[in-house]
Structure 1
């Protein structure tokens, strides 16, 4: 999720902390021959040159200039000056070997046989409208008081609870200050408005993380602080649960952690334990949602962690062990189908943002299940239909990958009824209990005259 008006978050590669790939002289010559073009969209292992340096696109780009920017997933690696670089005197600990480019074998068309068994959390409509409220900050969309959030929104995620430091586990949430958000309500009015929403059957959650809130529970002390601090916020504001919106470098798999069903990486293990503690504390009514980016979920079909060859981004698929461990307690998983690169679907074709096809292919993966890193003996099982929604930007200003209402509704109709699917063959069949739609954000929707809400709330209600 994004705080600012900028539509793509980029970072200077040197400041991103990503590993630098050292090119050979031959690699450099190839790179210098491949001039960067802003019209090109490079994918894994493509090369480009600009401003006297050559670069390798490790994953994907959104037309970013390689010499000044990396993509959202740290894709551009600086290989050094054109004409060749001097290799390091000692090789890296784990050489960045390029993974094979052959796609995974086609998965079975029948879902895995180990679905979740717990019933869904009550109180939600069959098809829900889910949105994020900019409660702790302002941006170009303007501030919106909780009491003024329209009744159409069934789940309201308060953005954001953020840590005091990346590894502290100490999550804090405060209303936007009046100097930043003119017209902000008092805390007492905010709490009363939440109470009124809940009395009307709405769910109000604390969304933790976001683009700026990196959360890395590296220790058990951080895990315990996470539980106590999040509990304090839930209790103070009278909330229904939490939304896990970990982005950036919050979740990453350690080298050798290759089994999503039995993770060993501390940030993964501790997050799972913390979420289980919160569920145990608040009981059956606790609402748990997650909003990962496609890189952390669907990319796991091709790549998981740093991989058996090394050199892959260790964040690839890193949400999978969390989703799997919490599958019986997860209320809704709404992957962000935006700010994303092209992702391979179950048809072994790459799908890109901007139309119904991307929403259909990405969501079908979660409704059908898929082999992790192409290993058909290691299947990520399908989730229940009522646990699955997908996220879409509410407007062109809210994020990359905006799709007009007709395209979003085409995707939902395909997933629910199996019709109007375009060229994609749905593996999961029909999904009449598909939960609904999430958007970033309620504020941006208001800014654009409620296009998202006005189009999709009656549409969802009419699905039956």
Structure 2
């Protein structure tokens, strides 16, 4: 999920400034590809180069597939390039430093080397979410030069975020031929693919690239049974519509909470912030800039709007994380701090629960401990939603999927972000293109076969082409996917092995939906609420 940056840093001097942000979350999920082909351990010749674990490392798809750049700051250019036909160019504007990120699957307790060719004033290359010491390097060379750093993952780390960024007011930078090498995690995963993500459109105006996805060995999603508890939420039968309400201004329609379309059953307030004085703790306050744009939106009005939504039968949760979220719950102390601080905010504002939208990795053990503790504090009305990226829910072995299963007795719905991801494996082992009914149904199938109840699965989609870099589908396509999963009608080429009535939907965001004529609320919301 995209969010506004509230903190502005000063321009660096001749030395690398200590205040540079190095903890960055990816909006983009990625297919598990290695330069177009997966190399398993022991595969290939003895003298083969180590595989590049990054997707689209040289931007030779002609797009940003696999990468997410803040504030639409990045594009793909044909000149200047270090090699091949394309390179990345990103331009910092205002308080944005043109961060471009990619989340990559890794093995715990392992050492990796990251390098890339860059040029421009103040170009940074680094890693975050390593579970140990995050590293970075930088240069100010106007000519192509190679940056290299290395890091070691922590004992429970399964993914890291690789990032590039520039600096405020220093002009565009270019990057090309990125390389991440180290132990290949894919043999331990149930997901393999040999496809390069096909691209149907490019929001930045770069040349489109088409490719045909290929099939791989089937995904072995092992059913673990249905949830032991009954999901809480507005209706026990599912078919819920969730929408994110933006507590910041980013070009979408500014809204008070009272302005959110009544079709939304669950409203996720985006976002809570990390408490700098409490590991795992969270804080929340209305953004003063947005409040001013809304004519002086006060805490009292906000709380009254939450109460009014309750009176209308709606639920309001506080979303934790987002694109720039840095909340980390990795031990017992931070788990306790998270639960206590979240409960305090629930009491203060009247929230019904929390939404987990952590895009920089999660620790399923301790975050599940925190969420189960929070659920016990709140009681039977507790609402828990999640918004993992597509890669996070490809296998029951991923931390996010393990988190969902570890909290399923109190879990309301997992609204996976089926966008900004490229191609992905479906539950049948075939690779499906982002932005299609098959992509939605075949990926949702993995979660349904993996142990979540239909009412605990939601199809997360952008509300408009402006709301995400890729993956927009029409509201009618969402309706078709819901029908396909519920009763096998209106399917594409993928046919579900059984019927799963109860699946819901989510959109980023209610603000972008309002900018687009409330098409999600009207079309998808109306369809969901009319389903048996």
What interval of TM-score do these two structures reach, taking the shorter chain for normalisation? 0.7 to 0.9
| Aligned residue runs from structure 1 range 16-95, under 5 A | 27=49, 37=60, 39=62, 65=87, 71-73=101-103, 78=115
1:235-291: CA deviations, max 9, x gaps?
Answer: 0011111111111x242xxxxxxxxxxxxxxx4322111101101111222111111
Matched with 1:171 is 282
Matched with 1:225 is 337
Structure 1 residues 419 and 166, CA gap change in structure 2 (3 angstroms): farther
Instruction: Look up the SS of the partner of 2:288 in the other structure.
Output: coil
Note the C-alpha offset of 1:384: 0.9
Note the C-alpha offset of 1:190: 1.1
1:394-413: CA deviations, max 9, x gaps?
Answer: 11111121101121111111
1:65-124: CA deviations, max 9, x gaps?
Answer: 35868553269953569xxx9999x99899714446966753679x72532121222532
* Equivalent residues, number: 389
- Out of 339, 345, 368, the position equivalent to 2:420 is 339
Note the C-alpha offset of 1:444: 0.7
Distance in 2 separating the partners of 1:67 and 1:454: 38
Distance in 1 separating the partners of 2:349 and 2:152: 49
- Out of 377, 380, 383, the position equivalent to 1:281 is 377
Matched with 1:162 is 273
Matched with 2:461 is 392
- Out of 171, 175, 182, the position equivalent to 1:96 is 182
Higher helix share: 1
| Aligned residue runs from structure 1 range 194-343, under 5 A | 194-247=306-359, 249-251=360-362, 267-298=363-394, 300=395, 317-343=398-424
Matched with 1:457 is 525
Note the C-alpha offset of 1:167: 7.4
Structure 1 residues 202 and 54, CA gap change in structure 2 (3 angstroms): same
Structure 1 residues 125 and 444, CA gap change in structure 2 (3 angstroms): farther
Note the C-alpha offset of 1:186: 1.5
Matched with 1:9 is none
Matched with 1:148 is 259
Distance in 2 separating the partners of 1:284 and 1:115: 20
Whether contact under 8 Å (2:256, 2:294) holds in the other structure is no
Matched with 2:203 is none
Whether contact under 8 Å (1:137, 1:181) holds in the other structure is no
1:297-324: CA deviations, max 9, x gaps?
Answer: 11x37xx5xxxxxxxxxxxx22122112
Matched with 2:164 is none
Structure 1 residues 121 and 443, CA gap change in structure 2 (3 angstroms): same
Matched with 2:40 is none
Distance in 1 separating the partners of 2:4 and 2:148: 40
Note the C-alpha offset of 1:194: 0.7
Whether contact under 8 Å (1:167, 1:216) holds in the other structure is no
Note the C-alpha offset of 1:331: 0.8
Q: Which consecutive unaligned segments of at least 5 residues does structure 2 have?
A: 6-20, 26-33, 35-45, 67-77, 91-98, 106-112, 119-145, 155-180, 194-215
Structure 1 residues 368 and 175, CA gap change in structure 2 (3 angstroms): same
Q: Which consecutive unaligned segments of at least 5 residues does structure 1 have?
A: 6-13, 44-48, 56-62, 252-266, 305-316, 370-381
Structure 1 residues 16 and 193, CA gap change in structure 2 (3 angstroms): closer
User: Greater CA deviation, 139-148 or 385-394?
Assistant: 139-148
Distance in 1 separating the partners of 2:100 and 2:476: 33
Structure 1 residues 92 and 139, CA gap change in structure 2 (3 angstroms): closer
Structure 1 residues 41 and 144, CA gap change in structure 2 (3 angstroms): closer
Matched with 2:500 is 431
Distance in 2 separating the partners of 1:72 and 1:353: 17
User: Greater CA deviation, 113-122 or 326-335?
Assistant: 113-122
Whether contact under 8 Å (1:16, 1:74) holds in the other structure is no
Matched with 1:11 is none
Whether contact under 8 Å (2:413, 2:457) holds in the other structure is yes
Matched with 2:209 is none
Find out whether 1:407 has 2:503 as its counterpart.
Answer: no
Distance in 1 separating the partners of 2:153 and 2:340: 38
Note the C-alpha offset of 1:433: 2.2
Distance in 1 separating the partners of 2:509 and 2:277: 25
Cα RMSD, aligned residues only: 4.0
1:139-163: CA deviations, max 9, x gaps?
Answer: 1013211122222111011111110
Whether contact under 8 Å (2:58, 2:86) holds in the other structure is no
